[in-house]
Structure 1
Amino acid sequence: MAARRPYWKGYLKLSLVTCPVDLTPATSESEKVRFHTLNKQTGHRVVSRYVDSVTGKPVTEENEAKGYVRGENDYVLLTDEELESVSLDTVRTIDIETFVPRESIEWIYLDTPHYMVPNDKIGNEAFAVIREAMKAEGVVGVSRVVIGRRERAIVLEPRGNGIVVWTLRFGDEVRPEAAYFQDIDKKAEAKTVASIQKMIKPRTENWSPSMVTDPIQESLLKLIASKKKATKKTAPVKGKKEGDTQPSNVINIMDALKRSVQADLKGRKRSD
């Protein structure tokens, strides 16, 4: 297992009890297959550059600035120095001031999970005391923290020996369900419901992470492995001068992927 790399380092505080902690994202997409954009004629990578939308000329890094839209083609410019000067108490401290029952927070407000752990042995005891007290009361802590220059509302949920920290969506980010569900027919015939229940029962199992494997990811890895073997068998062309047409090793991977997925699906249907 790779060494844990903290995403955020700071302090957890409850009244006079304080301990140093780390936050690490609880989920990761680093294992997902990623693609680069290539020039099909040369096989070289294509790079992106910032250009002025009016002059079309490239903009150097030192001339880039953040802008807040004030009107059409009108912006308030903010420099990095000005943004850094905005100091928030929550930059390095998670101060728990409120507790709520866990079930009182609707799932739709939960955004991104992080694992919180003490980052030194001295803080272990204070961390454990806060964790166990929340468990005993059946509550989660509500606080705020600055991540990526943005202050986020969070909840702290004791889990096993650690604490799971969920960033929360703000109220104006959650659309009310009533606006979408109000016109749906509320009635359902009892006989029909009973029939569906009979279908549900034999399909009910205990949850397992294997239920959410990514078939496209698996097909991609198989496809890439086969293309690697095919590329190794192709001997490099030597003696070509600059300007000569080069044979392209660039693969139309989307077409190949579609064929691979279709073959995989046909195989599954035959095995059913």
Structure 2
Amino acid sequence: MRSIWNGAISFGLVSIPVKLMNATENHSISFRQIHLADGGRIRYRKVCELDEQEVTTAETGKAFEDTDGTVIPVTDEDLASLPLPTAKTIEIEGFVPASAIDPLQLDSAYYLSANGVPAAKPYALLREALRRSEKVAVAKYALRGRERLGMLRVVDDVIAMHGLLWPDEIRAPEGVAPDSGVKIRDAELDLADALMNTLGEADLDTLHDDYREAVEELVTAKAAGESVEAEEDEGEGGGQVIDLMAALESSVRAAKESQGGAGGGMAEVHPIESGRGGGTKKAGAGAKRTPGKRAASKRTPSKRTPSKRTPSKRAAPKKEAAGTKAAPEKPTAKKAASKTTAAKKTAPRKSAAKKTAAKKSTTKSTAKTATKTAAKKSAPAARKRTSA
């Protein structure tokens, strides 16, 4: 890995010699401009606008153009004479939590390598101090002719530096946000949460540039003289008005299918439809228990009928039959029918009890009459004995 800058990290009175290397690389495909007639390459040349003559790199220099159009030449010697402490030093200004850095400020990323054996120990000291404090260092440095702002953090066992934009280089998002009158319903938020949970976390290691690969395949095919067929673009372009709820539901459904079914997704809830006798149709796993409890509570009045000897199993079918003859689905009609049924069952038993009681009373009265008759017959005999 080639270094692009050599200098030192200034950490208080500690100076750590380091080399700066690019931590990122650009894989985008670049194209050349050509002349369509003959395929010749088109180049840009530096031409002086006054004499219209092409100039070389050695003949070009820097200049600052004032607001009134005045051009003020500035040489490399002029810039080198400026008192710039960060010309060869990464000056640490302080330490802040990583959350204090706005991601909008992040720019290019670099690796810092210890430059030489003596730099190994102070380099490791700064690295471990950053790791233990769980903070990042804010620093200033100079690169490619300008002073920049940077952030130092630990990546594995290496100190990485991110170039930061200056705070005044971040534009305020004025007029970018939608109108404040937009209202979001709870149902829409619930679907958005369900979609986020279904999609899960992103595996950054599996993401790649599909467009770059397609361009490379196109170039390879054209170089081999093969014909290239354009793929059909599914769906319409953006900017169309859509049903937000329908789009969210379709997105959740598609995300579930892409992950191999609806396992772990949201359960579908169906409305409960009432049937005869308080029964219900199948609604869901959680809704099966509630109708059962309600049905049990409706059957309890049949146990409190006047006839305690009547089995509950016989009362159930008669209850349904009575329910069909009575008014549709009214609890009062069911209770009246059950009372009528119970009364019919207990009536023969009451009449039998009355007959038995009548027989007993007749037997008692007959016994009393016989006793009185016997007493009358025995009275004269007693009187004769007394007179004698």
TM category, shorter = 0.7 to 0.9
Paired amino acid for 1:144: K
- 2:171 is the alignment partner of 1:190: no
| Contact 2:92/2:137, CA 8 A, preserved across alignment | yes
- Find the counterpart in structure 1 of residue 126 from structure 2: 130
CA shift for structure 1 position 265: 5.3
Indicate the percent of aligned positions where both proteins have the same amino acid: 25
Paired amino acid for 2:61: A
| Contact 2:96/2:136, CA 8 A, preserved across alignment | yes
Q: 1:111 is paired with a residue of what secondary structure?
A: strand
Select between 82-91 and 133-142 the one with higher mean Cα deviation. 82-91
Report which of the two has the higher share of strand.
1
- Find the counterpart in structure 2 of residue 56 from structure 1: 52
- Find the counterpart in structure 2 of residue 121 from structure 1: 117
The change in CA–CA distance for 1:186 and 1:174 in structure 2 (over 3 A counts) is farther
Select between 169-178 and 153-162 the one with higher mean Cα deviation. 169-178
- Find the counterpart in structure 2 of residue 144 from structure 1: 140
Q: CA RMSD in A?
A: 2.5
Give the distance between the partners of 2:232 and 2:132, measured in 1 at CA. Answer: 50
Query: Is the radius of gyration larger for structure 1 or structure 2?
Result: 2
The change in CA–CA distance for 1:185 and 1:110 in structure 2 (over 3 A counts) is farther
Paired amino acid for 1:222: E
- Find the counterpart in structure 1 of residue 172 from structure 2: 176
- Find the counterpart in structure 2 of residue 17 from structure 1: 14
Give the distance between the partners of 1:230 and 1:177, measured in 2 at CA. Answer: 49
- 2:17 is the alignment partner of 1:45: no
Give the distance between the partners of 2:183 and 2:114, measured in 1 at CA. Answer: 52
- Find the counterpart in structure 1 of residue 243 from structure 2: none
The change in CA–CA distance for 1:58 and 1:120 in structure 2 (over 3 A counts) is same
Give the distance between the partners of 1:95 and 1:67, measured in 2 at CA. Answer: 29
Paired amino acid for 1:98: G
Map Cα deviations across residues 189-209 of structure 1 (whole Å, 9 max, x no partner). 112101221222111134323
Paired amino acid for 2:224: K
CA shift for structure 1 position 94: 1.2
Give the distance between the partners of 1:73 and 1:17, measured in 2 at CA. Answer: 46
Give the distance between the partners of 1:264 and 1:220, measured in 2 at CA. Answer: 16
> Which residues in structure 2 correspond to 1:198-217 (within 5 Å)?
198-211=194-207, 213-217=208-212
- 2:231 is the alignment partner of 1:263: yes
Give the distance between the partners of 2:54 and 2:92, measured in 1 at CA. Answer: 47
The change in CA–CA distance for 1:264 and 1:54 in structure 2 (over 3 A counts) is farther
Long gaps (5+) in structure 2 = 235-257, 259-388
Give the distance between the partners of 2:113 and 2:233, measured in 1 at CA. Answer: 43
Give the distance between the partners of 2:20 and 2:159, measured in 1 at CA. Answer: 10
Map Cα deviations across residues 114-145 of structure 1 (whole Å, 9 max, x no partner). 11121323312111110111111121111111
Paired amino acid for 2:142: V
Report which of the two has the higher share of helix.
2
Paired amino acid for 1:208: L
CA shift for structure 1 position 153: 0.9
TM-score, normalised by the number of residues in structure 1 = 0.77
| Contact 2:93/2:140, CA 8 A, preserved across alignment | no
Select between 139-148 and 59-68 the one with higher mean Cα deviation. 59-68
Map Cα deviations across residues 223-244 of structure 1 (whole Å, 9 max, x no partner). 121222239xxxxxxxxxxxxx
Give the distance between the partners of 2:8 and 2:182, measured in 1 at CA. Answer: 49
CA shift for structure 1 position 182: 7.5
Paired amino acid for 2:220: A
| Number of residue pairs the alignment of both structures matches | 235
Which of 1 and 2 has higher RCO (CA within 8 Å, sep 6+)? 1
CA shift for structure 1 position 87: 4.4
Give the distance between the partners of 2:182 and 2:24, measured in 1 at CA. Answer: 37
CA shift for structure 1 position 148: 0.2
- Find the counterpart in structure 2 of residue 223 from structure 1: 218
The change in CA–CA distance for 1:126 and 1:193 in structure 2 (over 3 A counts) is same
Structure 1 segments of 4+ aligned residues over 6 angstroms from their partners: none
